[in-house]
Amino acid sequence: NHIKKDILFSLIDGSLTEDLHKEAEDHLATCDRCFTLYASLKSSNIEIKKLIKNGEGLSGTGVRAIIISRFLFCVTHVPTVQTHRM
């Protein structure tokens, strides 16, 4: 079983309950696929926040470049798998 993307997004933004947070972290420690996807999403989130903080906003070409590069990374490095809610 793999972590659904909505759970990963919630882990990144800190909105998971304590139990789900612990369960997700335990899974990431043992699952390379989920950890790779999480790391890519987390990196994108950090880069986008930096762009917003620097005044580029969400319409900047930098954000589009980040989204495209992360999408390409996920397509080429993270196998497509059936995901399940934890």
31-57 residue pLDDT tens: 999 998 899 888 888 877 777 777 666
- Judged against a pLDDT cut of 50, whether residue 11 lies above it is answered with yes
Q: Which residues, at least 6 apart from 85, have a Cβ–Cβ distance to it below 8 Å? A: 4, 7
- Judged against a pLDDT cut of 90, whether residue 73 lies above it is answered with no
Q: Please give the pLDDT value at position 75.
A: 54
Position 81 confidence tier, pLDDT thresholds 50, 70, 90 = very low
pTM: 0.64
Q: What is the average pLDDT across 65-71?
A: 64
- Residues for the chain: how many in total? 86
Helix (H, G, I), strand (E, B) or coil at 3: strand
Q: What is the average pLDDT across 12-26?
A: 92
